[in-house]
């Protein structure tokens, strides 16, 4: 496990029309083993933030550290999951999950790789689907396989960019519960980007609201629901109040309030 730390990070893209500022002086810390969600208006720079933390692009200003070490490029200690998982249709579920190990641990014996994949499939309740092809799975099942694949090489940090965004409401709630138990089991530091305020509250220790582009850190709030969480927790007066505060902050970010 390792903490994620952003210190006064700004980012702008160079475009033919000149610099295009996307992130403005963002500082944040996700402590080791903690779960932080980032919400904000569409196009404000959330995916750019994930690309910076995963080392795919470098910030124009400021520094990003994982476990105290500055990021200089993509690292196998970071796992990522996105909205639409890409699977290799000619490979079984297990062999899709072991893919990252083939890159970061090529010498690991095949049986060990597959055992790790099977262990994760059990955690996401997909036992029995090991040898299926991706096309034989539902959207929710594919996303569970994608989560297994992002965790198979035991990354220290998991970056999730709207992984449940394309799923229906019930499947999404099921995945929240799975994600919550995966997080406890795998003891991982997580940063989730989402548009769903209930999702951010259910999963996180802290929620950060970004302003409109160029995104600043506009508001942050701790979620003290404790380690044991159930969907009922989302309907208590305390959580309803928290969600109302977040909704208000989003409206402020959108310039509607
Ligand atoms: N490589 C790039 N070059 C120039 N502009 C870019 C590049 N990548 C992203 N942008 C712009 O930066 C802004 C932020 O994009 P980003 O994908 O980070 O937003 P987002 O908050 O993830 O949006 P959404 O909520 O819709 O997923 C957008 O205006 C986008 O067009
Ligand atoms: Mg995005």
The alpha carbon of 223 and the centre of ligand 1 are apart by a number of angstroms equal to 28
| Full DSSP string of 15-81 | ETTEEEEEEEEEEEEE-TT-EEEEE--TTSSHHHHHHHHTTSS--SEEEEEETTEE--S--TTEEEE
Atom of ligand 1 nearest to the CA of 45: 18
What pLDDT, on the 0 to 100 scale, is given for residue 1?
Answer: 58
In the predicted model, what is the mean pLDDT of residues 110-119? Answer: 97
Q: What integer pLDDT is reported at residue 256 of this predicted model?
A: 82
The per-residue pLDDT for 83 is: 84
Q: Are 192 and 168 in contact (CB under 8 A)?
A: no
Using most ligand atoms within 8 A of CB, pick from 12, 23, 47 the residue to mutate for ligand 1. Answer: 47
Q: Has residue 226 got a pLDDT over 70?
A: yes
Write the DSSP symbol of residue 220.
E
pLDDT tens digit sequence for 128-150: 999 999 999 999 999 999 999 99
The full set of domain ranges for the chain reads 1-77+157-163+189-257, 79-154
pLDDT of 74 strictly over 90: no
* Distance separating alpha carbons of residues 11 and 20, to the nearest angstrom: 9
Query: What's the CA-to-centroid distance between 43 and ligand 1, angstroms?
Result: 5
What is the model's pLDDT at position 13? 97
Distance (Å, whole) CA 129 – CA 133: 9
Q: How confident is the model at residue 202 (pLDDT cuts 50, 70, 90)?
A: very high
Which is the closest atom of ligand 1 to the Cα of 210? 21
Residue bearing the CA closest to ligand 1, atom 8: 48
pTM of the model: 0.94
**For atom 4 of ligand 1, which residue has the closest CA?**
13
Output the residue whose Cα is nearest ligand 1's atom 9: 48
Q: With 90 as the cut, is the pLDDT of residue 231 above it?
A: yes
Which pLDDT score is estimated for 31?
Answer: 96
Q: Model confidence over 41-55: pLDDT tens digits?
A: 999 999 999 999 999
Ligand with smallest separation from the Cα of 40: 1
Q: In this predicted structure, what is the pLDDT of residue 257?
A: 76
Whether 183 has a pLDDT exceeding 80, the answer reads yes
Is any ligand 1 atom within 6 A of the Cβ of residue 51?
Answer: no
Q: Mean pLDDT, the chain, as a whole number?
A: 94
Query: What's 1-77+157-163+189-257's CATH class?
Result: alpha beta
233: closest CA among 176, 160, 188?
Answer: 176
Q: Quick one: which atom of ligand 1 is closest to the CA of 51?
A: 18
pLDDT tens-digit readout, 13-49: 999 999 999 999 999 999 999 999 999 999 999 999 9
Q: E strands of 194-241, at which residues?
A: 206-210, 217-222
Mean pLDDT to the nearest integer, 186-193? 94
- pLDDT in the model for residue 82: 86
């Amino acid at each position: 496990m390792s903490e994620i730390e952003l210190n006064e990070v700004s980012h702008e893209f160079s475009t033919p029309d000149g610099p295009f500022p996307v992130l403005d002086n963002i500082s944040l810390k996700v402590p080791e083993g903690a779960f932080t969600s980032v919400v904000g208006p569409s196009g404000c720079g959330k995916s750019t933030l994930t690309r910076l933390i995963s080392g795919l692009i470098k910030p124009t200003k400021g520094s990003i550290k994982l476990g105290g070490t500055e990021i200089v490029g993509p690292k196998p200690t970071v796992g990522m999951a996105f909205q639409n998982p890409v699977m290799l249709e000619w490979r079984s579920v297990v062999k899709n999950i072991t893919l990252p190990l083939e890159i970061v641990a090529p010498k690991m014996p095949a049986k060990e790789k597959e055992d790790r994949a099977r262990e994760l499939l059990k955690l996401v309740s997909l036992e029995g689907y090991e040898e299926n092809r991706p096309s034989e799975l539902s959207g929710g099942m594919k996303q569970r396989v994608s989560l297994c694949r992002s965790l198979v090489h035991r990354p220290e940090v998991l970056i999730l960019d709207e992984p449940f965004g394309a799923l229906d409401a019930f499947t999404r709630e099921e995945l929240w519960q799975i994600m919550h138990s995966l997080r406890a089991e795998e003891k991982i530091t997580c940063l989730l980007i989402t548009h769903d305020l209930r999702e951010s509250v259910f999963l996180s220790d802290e929620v950060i609201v970004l302003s409109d582009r160029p995104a600043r850190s506009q508001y942050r709030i701790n979620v003290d629901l404790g380690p044991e969480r159930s969907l009922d927790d989302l309907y208590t007066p305390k959580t309803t109040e928290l969600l109302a505060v977040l909704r208000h902050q989003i409206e402020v970010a959108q310039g509607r309030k």
